Amino acid sequence: MEKFELSYEDMITFTNSYDACTDYHAGMDRYIIFYNDIDKTRMQSNRYRWNIAHELGHICLKHLVTYNQTRVYRSSLTRSTYKLLEDEADCFAAYMLVPHVGLYASHIKTQRELMNICKISSAAASTRYNDYIKWYKRNDHPKKWDNHDKALSRTYSIAGARKHCSLCNYMLYDNFAKYCPICGNSLNYTLEEKMARYPGVELNKNNRPEKCFECDNEENLVDSKFCMICGKMMINTCTNKEQCNHVGEAFPGNARFCPYCGKKATYYEKGYLKQYNKNDAIVDDVTNVAFNAITDDDIPF
């Protein structure tokens, strides 16, 4: 609403709400959501995200079409019908922004963690956290989840697997990783918003170098583990052959240590990688890190 240069009072008069509203144009079958971005307190508290999700609920649940409304007005519906539609839209917003299976997969332990990862207001986080605890205590086993829940869980598990190194600030997404591949320090789950990336040996999409480090041979298969000329190991992998099950697994080109056992990786042991330097780190916002999203086919509406 801010771009229309309305005053706060004008916005309330237009939307008949402090939060948001949706207009439906039946002739064009088009919807327009108006939301309060004038009140900066609501914007900073992330309340606007809930308001928009609530209005999307009205749209996806076809409230305006079913009840032949251009807007969900309290005065144009019976009290019970209005409450039903609002409750359904709230339920939609809750499961859209704060799905229980997502919280489960993200290892959420506190209300603040929920608020930070789901980007909702503290009031909404309090309600959803209490709902989540009740759901968790019912012990809804993942085997009971439908395909939509499983898809959500897979996506959130990546975010939930976010682990952070307090020494070099490196971050990676791996539930099973225990050690930082950059410096070898222990990892912990985190909700940090910033991550440090470190340069390393440039590899192809199969985590293989373009040429052999020993003989400079470039004529190797794209997924070769060993050089076809000199037979030397080409991949960066764990050196702990006797105790680690990840020996032979190709690590990224900047990994100096095995994230699973903490022992040196081949590139670091052989000197292809030098000891990390914090000054080489590139700091990114976590939200810029791409990971597999849910496809449209996974969404049940």
Residue-averaged pLDDT of the chain: 82
pTM greater than 0.85 (yes/no): no
Give dist(CA 28, CA 13) in Å, integer.
25
**Residue 90 pLDDT > 80:** yes
Query: 298 pLDDT exceeds 50?
Result: no
The position carrying tokens 């960066």 is 236
Percent of the chain with pLDDT over 90: 30
Q: Where are the alpha helices (DSSP H) in 61-200?
A: 63-66, 79-97, 100-105, 111-118, 122-137, 147-160
The pair of structure tokens assigned to 262 is 């903490």
**What is the distance between the alpha carbons of residues 236 and 273, in angstroms, rounded to a whole number?**
10
Tell me the mean pLDDT in the region 280-288. Answer: 66
Q: Is 233 left (phi over 0), alpha (psi -120 to 50) or beta?
A: beta
Distance CA 139, CA 56 (A): 30
Candidate ranges 41-45, 95-99, 143-147, 193-197; pick with highest mean pLDDT: 95-99
CB 189 within 8 A of CB 105: no
The predicted pLDDT at position 117 comes to: 78
Query: Which tokens belong to 76?
Result: 């144009």
Q: Is 282 exposed, middle or buried (0-12, 13-18, 19+ CB in 10 A)?
A: exposed
Domain ranges of the chain: 2-96, 98-159, 164-201+236-301
Percent of the chain with pLDDT over 70: 83
What integer pLDDT is reported at residue 299 of this predicted model? 44
User: At 265, is the pLDDT very low, low, confident or very high (cuts 50, 70, 90)?
Assistant: very high
Per the CB < 8 A criterion, the answer to whether 124 and 47 are in contact is: yes
Q: Is residue 63 classed as helix, strand or coil in its secondary structure?
A: helix
pLDDT tens digits along 181-220: 999 999 887 766 667 889 999 988 888 898 899 899 988 8
Give me the pLDDT at residue 176, please: 81
What's the gap between Cα 178 and its chain centre?
20
pLDDT confidence of residue 2: 58
Comparing 149 with 286, the larger pLDDT belongs to 149
The larger pLDDT score, comparing residue 185 to residue 158, is at 185
Please say if the pLDDT value at position 160 is more than 90. Answer: no
How confident is the model over 99-119, as a mean pLDDT?
83
